[in-house]
Structure 1
């Protein structure tokens, strides 16, 4: 009889602990929040029970609601960002919406992480009663349960029951806000019968009110940008599957070279499609993924990662990727960011690279700061030649500006230097080293189709380029460029063999 009672008591404690832990986990999860950089903003992410995704854009623009996104909803409160005008901000939203995969994946990952964190904390709280049950022992548990039936025990039990209510304070109510005065309206209803909307945005809801009603023109302008952007890049990505590109033979590896994206996330799926058509499995990023290198441009890096997450990924930062944010962010996402030391390459050779020294905050060389462009080029050549002397000749130097690798080529220590920066494709140019060996230099155009450092728009501002590098036996053997023109047509360069030696 005593054993049954102990087993029953243990089961009750476990059940109560599970209930307590689950309650705490759910409560922590629904009251948790994370601040991340999303769509160019410092954004507070909060889970909800509504099953909807609500984007709170601030006091001057309407909030948006996406219905039935999943079993758990989310509230996204957009905070500070860098922007020149409200019109520019709205256009940016529309452009990002044309390819939102990176941002959606980021929100999903944040919500999952909050759920896991809440579950672990709930588990910890739920284990407390079990721990006390075991620590007290049978004798003290009996005394405790007998004490509950006393007057002091009843008072203590009442206090324990009142304590959660005092913490919760359900009688406290929020003040009535202006937000609650608005109503939700679909974009189709807001636009009216005279405006034709893309089918996928018709059911998105907008919170209307006295101020946001005046924003109708901005919303419709954004929808137009969204439609044009999505159509242009989707068509281009589909067309890339039919390009006449050289495909790798047995034993060959193809790397896709991108540079100077300057936040043009629309080109990421196009570049991926070109790479798939050419059989590429490696992406080499020559920098200038952003225009300023600021955290608000994380959306561009999220998109790049989303497009190539299952490939081997290597990169350097460009002169517009100011500071260390870009390199650190991509490294945290799993990219191998080259820092002046040779690394093993997927094609069997070695790869060397370094960030552009002209970028503010960059130019350090193993804790030494203030080096000039020429000095960094000399150090790069020193390392390349040292590797060659050790029997590990560098097959490729990846830099933002190919001129940074010219000294290494002049000394005859590398096979190929890849870069970007000029926004104009050039090469392959043969460089004869001082020892009579030959190497090549190749400059990719702007993958983002950027004019100066600006690429955001419903289509590229100038022709957008990527390059394909073919390797065999650990060394480069050929190069080919692919260009998407501003009118959506294609130009494909001939595959140019290279024979370093």
Structure 2
């Protein structure tokens, strides 16, 4: 055989071998990989499987769940630590999250895809190793190596080389029989029995039965009841929101931009799709989040932020943290998801004007002033007013200040440096109130109620604990021209406030 065909044959064999090795390593790494994320309020270990099922391992006190045929690959989710007051409260939280599962599903899909890409890159690196060794040795050394395989030492080295993967794999190791092996799977319909009517979409979800979980039937059925009521209430609200223009909801003119103002969600993810539906009915394209998305600001509440992101991922998104969003977790998490979290600097707004805001000083920080600890509420308000007035002097009058508590923007209004200050915090709608400055300028203040329908800092439930509210801000030529509130009552009915025109001056 001539040298050229031989080189081609050797190259082809080397390429096929490298691809096979890289693919085997990538698949092995992927199927044996895991990733820890915050999911449904838990530190959750995500592991891919070939079973095409999604299995949720809830721990020793609650039954595991299995969702059949979720896709070409399956996943095993092992729930870890969380913060909860009781088992009943935990189960109810699961039920409410299940009412709108798109955010956790998208998060798991993203994590699995990231693990697959990581395994593929590692497999590629291992697959290229034989090629690198082949090229590094050169023809002369390769010849010596292959001739050495016929010697006693060469055969011993080859045996050791082939034994190495077996020693790493150790297939003779086996696990002891566990309680998990003793359980069997049954559908919720089988668990509940013929006398209990279940929603069609949950009847085929499987529960692992066994001696440890036989007393959990009451909790499971209670969760299903909460799921059913929550899904029905919020799904109906999201559907009927399309009819809000018939109740007086204003739609924008061609030259106007509408922003949707949210505040005080307090983990009520059921309202996220409702708020989005209201925004769609009103022609909104921007969301302003005035904070208190959580009740404690802890990482276990990431499920609430994931839901918010899923509802508005294709809109322009701006936000600040509220007084209940303790620490930096909420602001950092939303910023990583692509939100513009305001930090005391003036930014350009999608409606053509400018926007200014800062986290509530009673919570997660003080924007660019975080290196100055101990600033009071009034001092932060002064700094905010200084920024607004500096922008006005530069010819960039701030059209809107977004804060958690509208009182934080009062000094900027008194100085005549802003058109509109919006916030929440009080859980009660108020405004628009005109504020006349000494120099003749006029600005407005507006307070949104609680979007989560929260009583105090608690909003989770099969329906809002009090009326849930959002506000619509209409902009034209870069300045606010009108405000309107929309309220979902606890009985599922709607209230739509009058569209209030505002005329900030100068």
| Cα distance in 1, alignment partners of residues 8 and 236 from structure 2 | 67
CA–CA separation in structure 2 for the residues paired with 1:367 and 1:87: 42
In structure 1, distance between residues paired with 2:365 and 2:412: 24
Distance (whole Å) between structure 1 residues aligned to residue 82 and residue 367 of structure 2: 27
Larger CA deviation: 348-357 vs 143-152: 143-152
RMSD: 0.9
Looking at structure 1, the residues matched to 323 and 483 of structure 2 have their Cα atoms a distance apart, in angstroms, of 25
Q: Residue in 2 aligned with 1:62?
A: 63
1:194 aligns with: 195
Give how far 1:295 is off.
Answer: 0.3
CA distance in 2, matches of 1:47, 1:96: 22
Q: In the TM superposition, what is the alpha-carbon distance from 1:370 to its structure 2 partner?
A: 1.1
Structure 1 runs of 4+ aligned residues shifted over 6 Å read: none
Matched, 1:150 2:151: yes
1:271-310 counterparts in 2 under 5 A?
Answer: 271-310=275-314
Separation in structure 1 between the aligned mates of residue 425 and residue 167 of structure 2, nearest angstrom: 62
- For residue 369 of structure 1, what is the aligned residue in structure 2? 373
Per the alignment, in what secondary structure is the counterpart of residue 241 of structure 1? helix
Corresponding residue for residue 383 of structure 1: 387
1:387-438 residue CA offsets vs partner (Å, 9 max, x unmatched):
0001010000000000000000000000000000000001000000121110
Report if aligned partners of 1:363, 1:370 keep a CA contact under 8 Å in 2.
no
* Alpha-carbon distance between aligned partners in 1 of 2:370 and 2:64, rounded to the nearest angstrom: 47
Contact 2:386-2:412 within 8 A present in 1 as well: yes
Equivalence for 1:392: 396
SS in 2 for 1:242: helix
**How far did residue 150 of structure 1 move?**
2.4
Q: Deviations over 1:42-67 (max 9, x none)?
A: 11111111111000000010000001
* 1:142, distance to aligned residue in structure 2 (A): 2.0
Q: 2:355 aligns with which of 331, 340, 351?
A: 351
Measure the CA separation in 2 of the matches of 1:169 and 1:38.
33
Aligned match of 1:225: 226
Q: Are 1:425 and 2:429 an aligned pair?
A: yes
Work out whether 1:31 is the aligned partner of 2:32: yes
1:5 maps to what in 2?
6
CA distance in structure 2 between the partners assigned to 1:397 and 1:369 by the alignment: 23
User: Offset at 1:137?
Assistant: 1.7
Name the counterpart of 1:330: 334
Superposed displacement of residue 151, structure 1: 2.3
Report the alpha carbon displacement of residue 368 of structure 1 after superposing the two structures with TM: 1.4
Query: How far 1:147 sits from its partner (Å)?
Result: 1.8
Q: 1:441 aligns with which of 426, 438, 445?
A: 445
State the partner residue of 1:204: 205
User: 1:368, 1:376 → 2: CA distance?
Assistant: 11
Please name the residue that 2:73 is paired with. Answer: 72
- In 2, the alpha carbon distance for the partners of 1:267 and 1:482 equals 13
Partner of 2:492: 488
Q: 1:135 and 1:196 mapped to 2: Cα distance?
A: 70
Equivalent-residue separation in structure 2 for 1:280 and 1:224 (angstroms)? 34
Q: Are residues 1:259 and 2:260 paired?
A: no
Per-residue deviation, 1:156: 1.2
Q: Secondary structure at the match of 1:95?
A: helix
CA-CA distance at 1:145 after TM superposition: 1.8
What is the TM-score with the length of structure 2 in the denominator? Answer: 0.98
Gaps of 5+ in 2: none
Kept in 1, the 8 Å contact 2:431–2:447? The answer is yes
What is the count of residue pairs matched by the alignment? 501
Q: Report the alpha carbon displacement of residue 6 of structure 1 after superposing the two structures with TM.
A: 1.6
CA distance in 2, matches of 1:69, 1:335: 30
Does residue 19 in structure 1 map to residue 41 in structure 2? Answer: no
Equivalent runs, 1:447-466 vs 2, <5 Å: 447-466=451-470
The answer to whether the 8 A contact 1:363-1:372 is kept is no
Query: Residue 424 of structure 1 contacts residue 445 of structure 1 at CA under 8 Å; is this kept in 2?
Result: yes
Spell out, residue by residue over 1:128-163, the C-alpha distance to the aligned partner (whole angstroms, 9 max, x if none): 101111112222222222222222222211111111
Distance of 2:51 and 2:76 partners within structure 1? 10
Q: How far apart are 1:362 and its partner, in Å?
A: 5.4
Q: What is the rounded CA distance, in whole Å, between the counterparts of 1:166 and 1:59 in structure 2?
A: 34
Deviates more, 1:387-396 or 1:130-139: 130-139
Give me the whole-angstrom Cα distance separating, in 1, the residues matched to 2:290 and 2:364.
17
| Structure 1 gaps, min length 5 | none
